[in-house]
């Protein structure tokens, strides 16, 4: 049923990809792609209704036998959102430490102090090498860097 919902979403998301401009030149390709997208959406829907589901992708760290658990996903998503919000006001080092920490926690780490230490030093090294060695700017934020 979850699969079915996702297919619907893909299909519906596709339908809204309809072009809205006037001239022939730039319109042709979007129309072509939108048509292809619609076709894929419809075919996927048919497959889903017939009860055919694709196997989830395998990977080195993936346990396919485990029931998928959305809690860590939501947790990481919140961490990323928080990081994006903090980027400007608090600076890169703090924002990326927050991201590091939430990901580590979502992956079930219990060594809170170690995670903070690793995350902080990683962010700091990255920040310093980017700003000092590569002349790229990153927000310093509230830290005196």
Partner 1 sequence: METLESLIHGFGVALSLSNLLWALIGVTLGTVVGILPGIGPALTVALLLPVTYGLDPVGSFIMFAGIYYGGMYGGSTTLILLNTPGESASIMTAVEGNQMARRGRGAAALATAAIGSFIAGTIATAALTFVAPAMVQLALKFGPADYFALMILAFTTVTSLLGSSVLRGMTSLVFGLALGLIGIDVQTGQARYTLGTLELLDGISVVIVAVGLFAVGETFYVASRQRKGAAQVEPIKGSIWMNRKEWARSWRPWLRGSLLGFPFGALPAGGAEIPTFLSYAIEKRLSRHKDEFGKGAIEGVAGPEAANNSAAAGVLVPLLTLGLPTSATAAIMLAAFQQFGLQPGPLLFTREPDLVWGLIASLYIGNAMLLVLNLPLVGIWVRLLSIPRPLLYGGILVFATLGTYSLSNSVVDLIALYVIGFIGFLMRRHGFPVAPAVIGMILGPMAESQFRRALAISQGDYSVFVTRPLSLTLLIIASLALFAPPVLAAIGRRRAARRAADDAAV
Q: Which of residues 7-26 bind partner 1 (CB under 8 A)?
A: 7, 9-10, 14, 17, 19, 21, 23, 25-26
The C-alpha atoms of residue 102 and residue 104 are separated, in whole angstroms, by 5
| Structure token pair of residue 134 | 């590569």
Based on the shown chain and the rule CB under 8 A, indicate whether residue 6 belongs to the binding site for partner 1: yes
CB atoms within 10 A of CB 8: 14
Instruction: Please identify which residue in 76, 82, 140, 145 interacts with partner 1, judged by CB under 8 A.
Output: 76
Give 58-64's long-range contacts (Cβ < 8 A, gap of 24+).
none
Q: Which of 73, 66, 77, 124 is nearest to 97 (CA)?
A: 124
**Shortest Å distance, C-beta 34 to partner 1:** 8
Torsion angle, CA of 80/82/85/86, rounded to 10 degrees? -110
Among left, alpha and beta (phi > 0; psi -120 to 50; other), residue 141 is left
Based on the shown chain and the rule CB under 8 A, indicate whether residue 77 belongs to the binding site for partner 1: yes
Instruction: Please identify which residue in 90, 91, 94, 104 interacts with partner 1, judged by CB under 8 A.
Output: 104
**Shortest Å distance, C-beta 55 to partner 1:** 6
Based on the shown chain and the rule CB under 8 A, indicate whether residue 137 belongs to the binding site for partner 1: yes
Based on the shown chain and the rule CB under 8 A, indicate whether residue 61 belongs to the binding site for partner 1: yes
Instruction: Please identify which residue in 90, 94, 119, 141 interacts with partner 1, judged by CB under 8 A.
Output: 119
Based on the shown chain and the rule CB under 8 A, indicate whether residue 106 belongs to the binding site for partner 1: yes
Based on the shown chain and the rule CB under 8 A, indicate whether residue 1 belongs to the binding site for partner 1: no
Based on the shown chain and the rule CB under 8 A, indicate whether residue 33 belongs to the binding site for partner 1: yes
């Amino acid at each position: 049923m979850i699969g079915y919902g996702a297919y619907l979403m893909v299909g519906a998301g596709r339908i809204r990809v309809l072009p809205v401009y006037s001239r022939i030149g730039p319109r042709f390709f979007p129309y072509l792609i939108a048509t292809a997208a619609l076709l894929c959406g419809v075919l996927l829907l048919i497959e889903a209704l017939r009860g055919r589901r694709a196997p989830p992708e395998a990977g080195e760290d993936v346990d396919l036998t485990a029931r998928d658990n959305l809690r860590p996903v939501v947790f990481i998503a919140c961490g990323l959102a928080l990081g994006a919000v903090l980027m400007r006001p608090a600076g890169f080092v703090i924002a990326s430490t927050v991201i590091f920490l939430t990901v580590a926690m979502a992956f079930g780490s219990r060594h809170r102090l170690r995670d903070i230490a690793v995350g902080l030093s990683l962010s700091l090294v990255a920040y310093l090498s980017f700003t000092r060695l590569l002349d790229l700017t990153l927000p310093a934020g509230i830290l005196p860097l």
